[in-house]
Amino acid sequence: MNDLSKSMERTLLSAPGKKKTRDINAISPLWNFIFNAGVCLFALSCIFPFIFIIIISFTDEKTLAINGFSILPEVLSLDAYRFLMRSGEQMVQSLGVTLTVTVIGTILTLYLVSTYAYAISRKNFDQRRFFSFLAFFTMLFSGGLVPGYIVVTQVLHLRDSIWALIFPSILNAFYIIVMRTFFTTTVPDAIIESAKIDGATEFGIYTRIVLPISLPGIATIGLFSTLGFWNDWFNALLYIDNPNLIPLQTLLIRIQNNMDFIVQNSSQVVSYDIAATLPTETVRMAMVVLATLPIALAYPFFQKYFIQGLTIGSVKE
């Protein structure tokens, strides 16, 4: 208590031009250290597994068989990556599927979400309450997995088609809430009114005025969606049997227990003795690294959009 008033006095007395003094409301250096240590430890636990997997992927297979997974392996090796370069056709194929699904899916998502959210964000749209309810009720109640599965396989006949990986996840009510909140908070009514007076049509207003000033919101949803499609494996688990159509994450599931999958499906003939000596464990980990690397490298750059989207989405109405 006494300390506080003393330090307050010091701050008040210090001349404004002088070097900055410690903020009197800041926590003490001791607590700062304790907090830093605690959070730092947790933060490290969040990136450590990824670093560990990278190290394993560069470990020599024999060393790994003898010593187990280790942070400081005795012998390093590029064998896993060499193996993938030689017989990684399945990996390339799956990467292609993932990329295609991600690009097409994200474009469709942005189209559906932005048009829907824009319409229900406009107060002069008479049926906006009905369509808002149509979207938001799906957050409260759903038919469940099985009827959805039957619709995709028996009504739309999408089994073993790339659309089965895209259609079920291109839209959800949460994206619409985020986007609608973005439209209502950042697009001033005055702009729309003045455009109307100048004779712009509703479509003109939407494409030439609203979309350009809503780019941060579009980016947020685009990122949510990109990440969703890149990481998706559940749709493939349900709807895809054809090896040519399985995405990267699902390939990782299949090789989890069965390394043969990548060997059988590469066009290169792998003889039995090669198959017997192939670096299985490290190849698996190398594939995990390759499947994760794009996201791990890119995400610090798009993190700020995510944060923006999250904070907008959680605001009430």
**Per CB under 8 A, which of residues 257..316 are in contact with other proteins?**
257, 281, 284-285, 288, 291-292, 295-296, 299-300, 303, 306-307, 310-311, 314, 316
Q: Which residues pair with 59 in a beta bridge?
A: 76
CA 69, 71, 73, 78 dihedral sign is: positive
Out of 21, 44, 213, 215, the residue judged to bind other proteins by CB under 8 A? 44
Nearer to other proteins, 184 or 292 (CB): 292
Range 210-213 contact pairs with CB under 8 angstroms and sequence separation of 24 or more:
210/118, 210/183, 211/114, 213/186, 213/187
**Of the candidate residues 156, 191, 213, 215, the single one contacting other proteins (CB under 8 A):** 156
* Residue 18, phi-psi category: left (phi > 0), alpha (psi -120 to 50), beta (remainder): beta
Pick one of 107, 134, 191, 215: the residue that binds other proteins (CB under 8 A).
134
Out of 10, 27, 85, 268, name the contact with other proteins by CB under 8 A.
Answer: 27
User: Of 12, 15, 30, 46, which lies in the binding site for other proteins, with binding defined by CB under 8 A?
Assistant: 46
Among 100, 249, 261, 274, binds other proteins (CB under 8 A): 249
Based on the shown chain and the rule CB under 8 A, indicate whether residue 107 belongs to the binding site for other proteins.
no
- At 317 the three-state DSSP class reads coil
60-99 footprint of other proteins as x/- string (CB under 8 A): ----xx--xxx-----------------------------
- Would you give the binding string for other proteins spanning residues 202-221, x where CB under 8 A is met? xx--x---------------
The 10 Å CB-count burial string (b at 16+, else e) for 258-283 is ebebbbebbeeebeeeeeeebbbbbb
Stretch of residues binding other proteins (CB under 8 A), selected from 19-27, 77-85, 183-191, 265-273: 19-27
Instruction: Based on the shown chain and the rule CB under 8 A, indicate whether residue 2 belongs to the binding site for other proteins.
Output: no
The alpha-carbon radius of gyration of the chain (Å, integer) is 27
Kindly state the DSSP code that residue 124 receives in the 8-state scheme: T
Q: How far is the CB of 213 from other proteins (least distance, A)?
A: 17
Q: Name residues whose C-beta falls within 8 Å of residue 267's C-beta, 6 or more positions apart in sequence.
A: 89
Nearer to other proteins, 58 or 206 (CB): 206
* Structure tokens given for 203: 């479509």
